[in-house]
Structures are given as C-alpha cells and as structure tokens.
Amino acid sequence: MSSFDVGIVGAGVHGASAAYHLASRGVRVAIFEHTTPAGGPTGRSSAICRAYYTNPFLAAAARDSIAMLRSFPELTGRDAGFRQTGFFFLHPPEDAEQVRASVATLNAAGIEVELLSVGEVAGREPGFDLEGVGIAAYEVGAGYADPHATTEGLFARAVELGAEARLGRAVTSIEPDPTGGGSIVTVDGTRTACGRVLIAAGPWTRPLALQVGADLPLTVERHIVATFRWGAADPVPAHGDLIGGYYFRPEGEHLFLAGHVHPAPRADPDGYADDVESDEIEGLARLIVRRVPRLSESETQGGWASLYDVSPDWQPVIGEIAPGIFVDAGTSGHGFKLAPALGGHVADLVMGAATDPRLADFDPFRFERGARLDAGYRDARILG
Ligand SMILES: Cc1cc2nc3c(=O)[nH]c(=O)nc-3n(C[C@H](O)[C@H](O)[C@H](O)COP(=O)(O)OP(=O)(O)OC[C@H]3O[C@@H](n4cnc5c(N)ncnc54)[C@H](O)[C@@H]3O)c2cc1C
C-alpha cells in the first residue's frame, strides 16, 4: 500500500489549489479525482473574481487570489485567463450604511473600491435604469478568469512539484486511522494510506464526511448561467444587481453571461438537469433588460446549469472534522475566486502550521454552536 503525507479528495479549484500549496512546500501529496481537474462545478463556474466581501478574511483571500491570477504565469508557467473588467455593485437604499462601512474597510485592506451615489453611476454608465438603486460601489480590479485554465494550471504545477495525480477513479471510502488521517479507498479497490486527508469534494462532501463521523449541514442547489450575444446592443460593464438579484459579466468580445444571486431549489448532485430551459433564460433576461433596457437588442445564446454546495450561512466550511481529516467545502456559489490564495491557508491548517486566526470562524461545526457567520447583504449572502 502506497502512502502519502496528505491525500486530497477532489480536484476542483479548491483541491487543486491545496495540492499546489502543499506540493510547493515539499509535502508528499496525492490528489484523487473522480473525473478530471475542474470536471465538476468548478468547470461550469462564472468565475467572477471580486474582493467585494463584507467578511474581512474572505476579502483578503479574494484580494490575494486575484493577485495570484494576475501573476499566474510566473507562479505556474501557465495563463489563468484573468481579465480585469471592473465591477459595479448596485444596492437598494437599505444597504447604504453597510455598504459605506464595507467600502471603507475594503480600501483600508488595499482593495480599491469606489463608493458611488446614484447620480455618479448614471454619469458613468447611462445605460443603467437606476430604479430602486440607492447606493453603489465599483471595484476597480475585479474581473473574471478561465476556471478550467486556473484549476488545470494549479493542478499541473502541483504535479510538476511532485504531487501524485489519481484521476478517473472515485473515492468510495475514507477509513480513519486512530492515530490520525486514514486510508483512501478508490473504486478499483486501491488503498492509499495518508497521514492527513483533505476532503474538497464540493457537492459530494457530505457523504464522505459522514463516513468519518461528521454530519455537516451542507445542501446542494442547482443554479443556471445564461449566455447572450451583444447583437446590436452596445456592451455594458460587469455588474451585480442586488435589487433584481442577478450578476452579469462580459464573456470575451461578443458575449455576456448572467446568473441569479439568490438561493435556488435543492438538487441531487447525481441526477439534476445540467442544461437550461428557455423559460429560465427568459426569466433572467427580463431582470437584465429591466436594469439595462438597451440589452433588449441582445440575443440568447443558451447556457448551462451546475451545482452550489451550500452551507447554512452561505460561507465556506473549513476545518478538522476528525483526527487528521479536514474539509474545505460549502463554498456556496462564491468559492472560485477564493481558492488560489485560500489553498495556502488550508495547507497551513492541514500541516498543523500557524494559521490566520480568522480561519477558525469557518469551523465546520460552527452551526451547532450557533456561530453562523453574518456575511453578505440580506438574502444575497453569496456576496460573503
Ligand atoms: C454556475 C456557477 C457559477 C459560479 N460562479 C462563480 C463566480 O462567478 N465566482 C466565484 O467565485 N464562484 C462561482 N461559483 C462557485 C465556484 O465555482 C465554486 O465555489 C468552486 O468551483 C468550488 O470548487 P471546489 O473545488 O470546492 O468544488 P467542485 O468544483 O465541486 O470540485 C469537487 C471535485 O470533487 C470531485 N469528487 C467528488 N466526490 C468524489 C469522490 N468520491 N472521489 C473522487 N472525486 C470526487 C468531483 O468530481 C469534483 O471535481 C459558481 C459555481 C457555479 C456552479
């Protein structure tokens, strides 16, 4: 039986990032993936990268991740496809006090965010109908990346640094070792002893965690992304509409994409519709055209659906769930842009190094203690 210091289950962007950081530190890592890197929800992510968070730790992780995406070629020898677009956040009046406080905190953390009145937004982007907007913010350095290129880049660099890839085989069980860590067993019967285990299996995390005695309150939701061709419409900037409840970004030169901000019905991760119905696209298009009337000239281009693994407060669950067995999941639809830098914090945790004390706030068992995180805006907790 082969053995490793750390075994990681899942090569979405979180597992790949942890593998990259651990391998960079000379840790012997094996990474187990049922499909391929980014073969799950990561590969269907809208991959918007903004550090506009109300939680200071997540804001810092996103800030540091965006810096990594910018310097990806130097770090990994590859391109993450990061493109800076800037991003408008359009809020209802009742968010004003929280937005003002948050913008000040973000700027103090080195994240350039402008606080804008409704008149200032109208002056900059006359294409918006600002009905219902009371205050806005603009994050200068926000953008989006290519989720496949990012994950594959982290994964490939980890392998170059010595990580072992076990692709195309599902992990069927994790057998805890009384001294810590455990054996990872794959569908072909192969057993691998791992001094420590990290479960980063996205929507499939809960049943794996149950095997080691941790019942985590994670649920799974199906979320759609719709794509459109600009057509005759002039492009509009990337934005999040917290009144209409959607996000929006350009996709290359000719397209834009959008999705909803609010919770969606629960789904079975092993049996859900991964395509998108025309009425779902039309519902989203109506919200967009209400905010940007000139986009009535745009043309539907289809879309897709994928899964969010959601925690009760819509913030990640990161921590030790059994001796030497850790989890990094529950990213609730906003974890892509956290992953590149968060993987370094997760590597600290797994290796027993000193961690940022704020990481403890994401303890997977916090809900039992009534210590939910109060992050995001009203029911748009996805903003974190
Ligand atoms: C439609 C959509 C839009 C999104 N938009 C954004 C956005 O704009 N910005 C943002 O920051 N975030 C966004 N997100 C969220 C972000 O994509 C996720 O938070 C992130 O990709 C989660 O990564 P992960 O590695 O935790 O999980 P996953 O991507 O779910 O990866 C888990 C991996 O584990 C593997 N696995 C599971 N079980 C097993 C097993 N038993 N054995 C072996 N392998 C296993 C799976 O095959 C999968 O590859 C979006 C998500 C979706 C679905």
Query: Would you say residue 273 lies in a domain?
Result: yes
Backbone dihedral region of 120: left (phi > 0), alpha (psi from -120 to 50 degrees) or beta? alpha
Among 14, 31, 45, 268, residue to substitute to test ligand 1 (most atoms within 8 Å of Cβ): 45
Is the distance from the beta carbon of residue 333 to the nearest atom of ligand 1 less than 6 Å? yes
Residue 152 burial (CB count, 10 A): 21
pLDDT tops 90 at residue 1: no
Average pLDDT (261-277) is 96
| Ligand 1: residue whose CA is nearest its atom 2 | 45
Alpha carbon of 92 to those of 112, 211, 367, 377: distances in Å? 21, 44, 29, 10
Rounded to whole angstroms, the Cα distance separating 88 from 307 reads 25
Tokens of 68: 């990594």
Mean pLDDT over 265-291 rounds to 97
Is 15 touching ligand 1 by the criterion CB < 6 Å?
yes
Q: Residue 123, exposed/middle/buried by CB under 10 A (0-12, 13-18, 19+)?
A: exposed
Shared-domain flag, residues 232 and 191: no
Predicted local distance difference test score (pLDDT) of residue 254: 95
- What are the tens digits of pLDDT across the range 217-226? 999 999 999 9
- 77 within some domain: no
Instruction: Indicate the residue among 269, 295, 310 that finishes a domain.
Output: 310
pLDDT at residue 301 greater than cutoff 80: yes
33 lines ligand 1 (CB under 6 A): yes
- Going from the Cα of 98 to the center of ligand 1, the distance in angstroms, rounded, reads 29
Last residue of a domain, one of 310, 334, 365: 310
What sign results for the dihedral spanned by CA atoms 205, 200, 348, 113? negative
Distance of CA 102 to the CA centre of its chain: 20
Of the candidates 262, 300, 296, the one whose C-alpha atom is nearest the C-alpha of residue 279 is: 300
Whether residue 357 sits in one domain with residue 239: no
Cα–Cα distance for residue pair 63/342, rounded to 1 Å: 10
Tokens describing residue 239: 């934005």
Residue 50 lies in a domain: yes
Quick one: tokens of 127? 């294409």
Do residue 204 and residue 320 come from a single domain?
Answer: yes
Ligand 1 neighbourhood includes 319 CB (under 6 angstroms): no
Three-state SS for 73-106 is: HHHHCCCCCCEECCEEEEECHHHHHHHHHHHHHH
Structure tokens at 113: 């965010």
Q: How confident is the model at residue 260 (pLDDT cuts 50, 70, 90)?
A: very high
Q: Whose CA is nearest to atom 13 of ligand 1?
A: 334
Both 43 and 151 in one domain: the answer is: yes
Is there a domain that residue 78 lies in? no
- Using alpha carbons, list the distances in angstroms from residue 53 to 81, 145, 327, 382: 22, 18, 22, 9
Same domain assignment for residues 233 and 338 = no
Is 88 near ligand 1, meaning CB less than 6 Å away?
Answer: no
List, for residues 166-181, the tens digit of each pLDDT value.
999 999 999 999 999 9
**Using a 6 Å cutoff on CB, does residue 45 contact ligand 1?**
yes
Same domain, 133 and 186: no
Find where tokens 């929507």 sit.
203
My answer on whether 127 and 226 are in the same domain is yes
Q: Does residue 305 sit in the same domain as residue 228?
A: yes
Tallying the residues shown for the chain, one arrives at 384
What is the average pLDDT value for the chain, to the nearest integer? 97
Q: Tell me which of 259, 293, 310 is where a domain ends.
A: 310
Cα 220 to chain centroid distance, Å, stands at: 14
Domain that holds residue 25: 2-61+147-217+312-383
To test the ligand 1 pocket, which listed residue (8, 34, 223, 317) has its Cβ within 8 A of the most ligand atoms? 34
Which helix (H) or strand (E) segment holds residue 279: the answer is helix 278-291
Q: What is the CATH number of the domain that holds 43?
A: 3.50.50.60
44-79 confidence digits (pLDDT tens): 999 999 999 999 999 999 999 999 999 999 999 999
Determine the distance separating the centroid of ligand 1 and the alpha carbon of 204, expressed in angstroms.
10
The domain that contains 290 carries what CATH number?
A: 3.30.9.10
**Mutate-to-test residue for ligand 1 from 44, 66, 204, 251, highest number of ligand atoms within 8 A of CB:** 204
Expressed in angstroms, the distance from the first to the final Cα of the chain is 42
119 CB-contact burial (10 Å; exposed 0-12 / middle 13-18 / buried 19+):
exposed
Same domain? 227 vs 341: no
Domain assignment present for residue 283? The answer is yes
**Domain co-membership, 50 together with 165:** yes
Tell me whether residue 74 is in a domain.
Answer: no
* Domain co-membership, 291 together with 204: no
The answer, yes or no, to whether any atom of ligand 1 lies below 6 A from the CB of 336, is yes
291 plus 243 within the same structural domain: yes
Q: How close is the Cα of 10 to the center of ligand 1, in Å? A: 9
Averaged over 359-366, what is the pLDDT? 98
pLDDT of 2 reads 77
Q: Is residue 68 part of a domain?
A: no
Tell me how crowded residue 308 is: count the other CB atoms within 10 A of its CB. Answer: 25
Nearest Cα to Cα of residue 106 among 60, 49, 48, 142: 60
- For 77-120, what is each residue's pLDDT tens digit? 999 999 999 999 999 999 999 999 999 999 999 999 999 999 99
* Nearest C-alpha neighbor of 56 from the set 2, 126, 103, 120: 103
* Tally of domains within the chain: 2
233 located within any domain: yes
